[in-house]
């Protein structure tokens, strides 16, 4: 049995991710680390990752190493740039939840709408999309789709309002895009509804991310 250490900044993603691990990788051990102050501090700093946030996340990754994790699962898209900085120094491989999603989306589309509810996700996700496209030597156009107020609604315990705002924002950008990405794992539950409303392929990260963890563990 191998150990996966998942690090979260959003409580809403913990139970769905645990369910995916139970479905797809039940034979391995999952350890969950949650700290919602990380994303709160990024937002307080004007959507900028501070030195303190970077140090704290690095400390969580070191704790994952110390507990004997075989792989670390970073579940927060807003922390993607920090992962890139830490990876070369980590004793344990770190997989980002949104990398498999972005690779698939870039593989099938040239005009990509990136939907988000939290501005902290903007820079890391757009950077990841463009990096993957450059690696594939594929020209793309990126459309930013911000669902204003949806993140706050989810934090305030209003999931129905979150879903409605996200759906409305996705419909507005769908005419410009041939593929839609849901940048945050917390948006995954709206994947099918957005497909039905827009007629576009829609990619979300949690299932594809856990499948990538499964593939990694099977070959490592």
pLDDT digits (tens, 9 = 90+) for 148-207: 999 999 889 999 999 999 999 999 999 999 999 999 998 999 999 999 999 999 999 999
The mean pLDDT of 130-147, rounded to a whole number, is 95
User: Is residue 84 located within the same domain as residue 105?
Assistant: no
Q: Which of 32-36, 63-67, 116-120, 198-202 has the lowest mean pLDDT?
A: 116-120
Among all chains, which residue has been given the structure tokens 């949104």? Answer: 98
Question: Helix or strand or coil: residue 72?
Answer: strand
Q: Is the backbone of residue 100 left (phi > 0), alpha (psi -120 to 50) or beta?
A: alpha
Residues 87 and 106 in one domain: no
Are 28 and 82 in a shared domain? yes
Model confidence, pTM: 0.92
Output the domain CATH number for residue 14. Answer: 3.40.50.1860
User: In this predicted structure, which of 17-26, 116-125, 173-182 has the lowest mean pLDDT?
Assistant: 116-125
The residue range of the domain holding 186 is: 99-204
Q: What is the pLDDT of residue 102?
A: 97
- Assess whether 33 and 67 both reside in one domain: yes
My answer on whether 200 and 103 are in the same domain is: yes
Residues 107 and 170 in one domain: yes
> What residues does 182 pair with on adjacent strands?
115
Backbone region of residue 40 per phi and psi (left: phi > 0; alpha: psi in -120 to 50; beta: other values): alpha
Query: Would the pLDDT of 220 be above 70?
Result: no
* Percent of the chain at pLDDT exceeding 70: 99
168-171: long-range pairs with CB below 8 Å, 24+ = 169/115, 169/145, 170/113, 170/115, 170/145, 170/194, 170/197, 170/198, 170/202, 171/197, 171/198
Confidence of residue 219 (pLDDT cuts 50, 70, 90): low
pLDDT for residue 48: 73
Domain co-membership, 116 together with 168: yes
β-partners of residue 116 are: 146
Per-chain mean pLDDT for the chain:
93
Q: Rg of the chain's alpha carbons, rounded to an integer?
A: 17
- Give yes or no: residues 93 and 135 share one domain: no
| Domain match, 91 and 7 both | yes
């Amino acid at each position: 049995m191998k150990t996966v250490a998942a690090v979260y900044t959003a409580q809403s993603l913990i139970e769905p991710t645990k369910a995916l691990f139970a479905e797809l990788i039940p034979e391995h051990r999952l350890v969950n680390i949650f700290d919602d102050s990380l994303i709160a501090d990024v937002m307080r700093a004007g959507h900028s990752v501070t030195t303190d946030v970077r140090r704290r996340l690095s400390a969580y990754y070191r704790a994952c190493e110390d507990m004997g994790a075989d792989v670390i699962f970073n579940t927060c898209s807003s922390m993607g740039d920090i992962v890139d900085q830490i990876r070369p120094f980590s004793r344990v491989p770190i997989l980002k939840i949104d990398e498999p999603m972005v690779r698939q989306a870039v593989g099938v589309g040239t005009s990509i709408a990136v939907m988000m509810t939290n501005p902290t996700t903007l820079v890391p996700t757009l950077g990841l999309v463009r990096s993957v496209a450059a690696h594939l030597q594929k020209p793309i156009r990126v459309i930013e789709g911000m669902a204003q107020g949806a993140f706050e609604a989810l934090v305030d315990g209003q999931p129905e309002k979150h879903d409605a705002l996200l759906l409305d924002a996705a419909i507005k950008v769908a005419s410009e895009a041939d593929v839609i990405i849901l940048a945050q794992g917390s948006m995954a539950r709206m994947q099918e509804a957005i497909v039905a409303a827009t007629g576009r392929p829609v990619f979300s990260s949690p299932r594809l991310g856990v499948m990538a963890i499964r593939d990694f563990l099977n070959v490592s």
